[in-house]
Structure 1
Amino acid sequence: METRGMEKRQVNPMVKTALEFGPILAFFVAYLWLKDRTFVIGGTEYEGFIVVTAGFIPVFLLAMGALWWLTGHLSRMQLVTAVLIVVFGGLSVWLNDDRFFKMKPTLIYLLFGGALAIGLMRGESWLQLVMEGLIPLKHEGWMILTRRVMVLFLSLAVLNEVIWRTMSTDTWVYFKTFGLTAAVFLFFLFQGGLFKEHGSEETDSE
Structure 2
Amino acid sequence: MAEERSMPKGLKPATDLGPILIFFAAYYFGDLYIATAAIMVTTLIALAISYYYTRSLPMMPMVTAVVVMVFGGLTLYLNDETFIKMKPTIIYAIFSVILFAGLALGKSFIKILFDNFWDLSDDGWKKLTIRLAVFFLAMAIANEIVWRNFSTDLWVNVKVFGFTAATFLFFIAQVPMITRHQKPQDPDGSA
Q: TM-score, normalised by structure 2?
A: 0.92
Q: Which residue does 1:147 correspond to in 2?
A: 130
Question: Is the aligned partner of 1:99 residue 2:82?
Answer: yes
Residue 90 of structure 1 corresponds to 73
Larger displacement relative to structure 2 (110-119 or 6-15): 6-15
Q: 5 Å matches for 1:1-206?
A: 6-34=2-30, 48-202=31-185, 205=189
**% identical equivalent positions:** 40
In structure 1, stretches of 5+ residues that fail to align are 35-47
Cα distance in 2 between the residues matched to 1:189 and 1:49:
31
* C-alpha distance in structure 2 between counterparts of 1:88 and 1:14, whole Å: 29
State the distance in 2 between where 1:170 and 1:115 align: 31
Contact 1:6 1:73 in 2 (8 A): no
RMSD (Å) for aligned C-alpha atoms? 1.9
| Structure 2: gaps of 5 or more residues | none
Q: CA deviation at 1:60?
A: 1.6
Q: 1:203 to 1:182 in 2, by over 3 A?
A: farther
CA distance in 2, matches of 1:165, 1:203: 53
Question: What TM-score, normalized to structure 1?
Answer: 0.85
2:22 and 2:35 in contact (8 A); partners too: no
Tell me the alpha carbon deviations over residues 1-31 of structure 1, each in whole angstroms, 9 at most, x when there is no partner: xxxx544443123112112211211111111
